[in-house]
Amino acid sequence: MRGKELNNGRMAMIAALGIVAADIFTGKDGMQQLGLGAIRERTSRVALRATAEKGEVFQPAKQMGATAPLGFFDPVGFSKEGDESGFRNLRAAEIKHGRVAMMAAVGAVAQHYIQFPGFEGVPADLAAVTTAPGSYGFAALFILSGVAELAIWKQDDKKEPGNFGDPLGLGQYNEDMRGKELNNGRMAMVAALGIVAADIFTGKDGMQQLGF
């Protein structure tokens, strides 16, 4: 069973890396990558027709997030003029993945030095996912994340994508900080993907990859 767990864990790491990479380059979630995004596409077409009837054309390039030095960056053209619903879905996914990636990138570095009590024998790289009790912690985190997304932090269509209020009361929810969050999230997604890929091919954690 330990051998099966290891093999399943290795396959899961490759699968997760593939899903993340495909999401970054295509903007499609796991199910859409399998061609099962018809419902969302129909919703986007309905929104497009409604916008056209009003005589207003939604412009993705004029939305918040088009910041220097790249400006509006959509080289593959996933964002369509007039498709506000589709743009909101893509932007919500971008913000969500960016926030997760920022925590993941920091965690990949911090876990080299910091381990919780009871987890001293758990590796500091991706092997932690398949090594008990690290695997138990991963399962608990996976469940808690699912509950938070499905029951607590639900996107309100009346608010901007990614707007879940100001839980810490920092008073920094403005266009400048939102732009910085987007850019930091984009960089973090690239960084996290690089850390995971390097870990798979070298077996080194985030800090070991830097020679520490």
Q: Summarize the annotated binding site as residue ranges.
A: 79, 94, 97, 99, 180-181, 184, 186
Token reading at 211: 């020679």
User: Judging by beta carbons within 10 Å of its beta carbon (0-12, 13-18, 19+), is residue 198 exposed, middle or buried?
Assistant: middle
Interatomic CA distance for residues 153 and 164, integer angstroms:
6
Rounded CA-CA distance 127/140 in Å is: 17
Annotated binding residues for chlorophyll a, written as ranges, equal 79, 94, 97, 180-181, 184, 186
> Which residues sit in the known binding site for chlorophyll b?
99
Nearest to 31 by CA among 19, 45, 16, 44: 19
C-alpha–C-alpha distance, residues 67 and 70, integer Å: 6
